[in-house]
């Protein structure tokens, strides 16, 4: 089995982005290649002009917390954790070309943390033989 950890990152709320970033950084620290595909709301969160915004919490959050800005819940350092992951190991972040099209985003508008845009076959080839998680 391949040592590569692949993550399809679909969700765009800070809690889920952070869960994915933690897994990516941990795997990178343990010398495992990490392969991330950004789709839909995760892709939207990686727009260069919005990446530093408050991305809120998932519906799973209890109602009183859900209505609070993330800053009041406690800072969720997802962006910093992704930066560390890329600094520490072999972490590739691919923007799903189909999602770019659906959301009307140009690849050039994404944060430099995103390496490139590509199709599903490119992601699946890189993921082949390893684990794939969907977040």
The region of 28-36, 51-59, 61-69, 126-134 touching another protein under the rule CB under 8 A is: 28-36
Which parts of 4-122 are beta strand (E)?
5-9, 34-38, 91-96, 116-118
The region of 26-34, 54-62, 103-111, 114-122 touching another protein under the rule CB under 8 A is: 26-34
Our finding on whether 75 is near another protein (CB under 8 A) is: no
CA 66 → CA 22, 62, 83, distances in Å?
21, 6, 26
Our finding on whether 22 is near another protein (CB under 8 A) is: yes
Half-sphere exposure of 122 (CA within 13 A, CB side): 14
Contact 97, 40 (CB under 8 A): no
* Dihedral angle sign, alpha carbons of residues 18, 51, 83, 89: positive
Total length of the chain: 135
Question: Under rule CB under 8 A, how many of the chain's residues touch another protein?
Answer: 12
Could you tell me the two tokens for 53?
A: 């915004």
Of positions 31, 54, 72, 128, contacts another protein by CB under 8 A:
31
- Smallest separation (angstroms) from another protein to the CB of 6: 18
Our finding on whether 84 is near another protein (CB under 8 A) is: yes
Contact 39, 45 (CB under 8 A): no
Our finding on whether 81 is near another protein (CB under 8 A) is: yes
Cβ-based nearer residue to another protein, 56 or 89: 89
Of positions 26, 33, 98, 118, contacts another protein by CB under 8 A:
26
The binding site for another protein (CB under 8 A) comprises: 22, 25-26, 28-31, 81, 84, 87-89
């Amino acid at each position: 089995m391949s040592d590569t950890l692949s993550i399809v990152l679909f969700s765009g709320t800070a809690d889920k982005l952070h869960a994915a970033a933690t897994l990516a950084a941990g795997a990178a620290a343990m010398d495992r290649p990490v392969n991330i595909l950004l789709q839909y709301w995760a892709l939207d969160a990686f727009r260069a002009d919005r990446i530093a915004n408050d991305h809120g919490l998932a519906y799973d959050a209890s109602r009183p917390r859900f209505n609070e800005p993330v800053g009041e819940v406690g800072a969720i350092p997802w962006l910093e954790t992704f930066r560390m992951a890329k600094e520490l190991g072999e972490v590739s972040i691919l923007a799903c070309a189909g999602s770019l099209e659906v959301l009307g985003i140009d690849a050039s508008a994404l944060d430099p943390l995103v390496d490139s845009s590509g199709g599903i076959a490119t992601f699946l080839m890189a993921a082949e033989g390893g684990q794939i998680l969907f977040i």
